[in-house]
C-alpha cells in the first residue's frame, strides 16, 4: 500500500482540530499514539529530535523545539491516517453501491 495523496480538505480539518489542543498536550498525545501504532518510527524520530533538533541547546529551548517538532509530525501522521480512513470508507460505499445495482 502506498501513502495516499492527502486532500486539502483533509489536512485543513486535521490541522484545525489539532491546533485547538494545547501544544504540549497534543505533542504528548502524539507520542502516546506513535508508541502504540508506530514504535519503530518513533525510535527514529526520538533519535533525530535528540541529535538534530535539541542537540547543544539549552534544556528549555530544546524541550520546546522537540514539542513543536512532534506537533508537526503529529499533524502529518494524523492527516495521513485520516486520508486512509476516508479512502477506505469511500471504497466501501462504492462497493456497496455496486452490490445494489
- For the residues 38-53, what does the mean pLDDT come to? 94
Q: How far is CA 80 from CA 33, 83, 86, in A?
A: 14, 5, 10
Say what the pLDDT of residue 93 is.
85
pTM confidence score: 0.81
Say what the pLDDT of residue 94 is.
81
Domain ranges of the chain: 8-83
pLDDT digits (tens, 9 = 90+) for 54-98: 999 999 999 999 889 999 999 999 999 999 999 999 888 886 655
Give the three-state DSSP class for 50.
helix
Look-up: residue for cell 502504540?
Answer: 36
Q: Find the largest Cα–Cα distance for the chain.
A: 65
Amino acid at each position: 500500500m502506498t501513502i495516499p495523496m492527502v486532500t486539502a480538505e483533509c489536512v485543513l480539518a486535521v490541522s484545525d482540530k489539532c491546533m485547538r489542543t494545547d501544544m504540549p498536550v497534543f505533542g504528548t498525545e502524539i507520542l502516546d499514539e506513535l508508541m502504540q501504532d508506530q514504535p519503530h518510527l518513533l525510535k527514529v524520530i526520538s533519535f533525530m529530535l535528540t541529535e538534530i533538533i535539541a542537540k547543544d541547546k539549552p534544556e528549555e529551548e530544546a524541550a520546546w523545539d522537540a514539542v513543536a517538532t512532534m506537533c508537526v509530525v503529529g499533524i502529518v501522521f494524523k492527516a495521513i491516517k485520516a486520508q486512509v480512513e476516508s479512502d477506505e470508507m469511500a471504497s466501501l460505499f462504492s462497493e456497496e453501491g455496486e452490490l445494489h445495482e
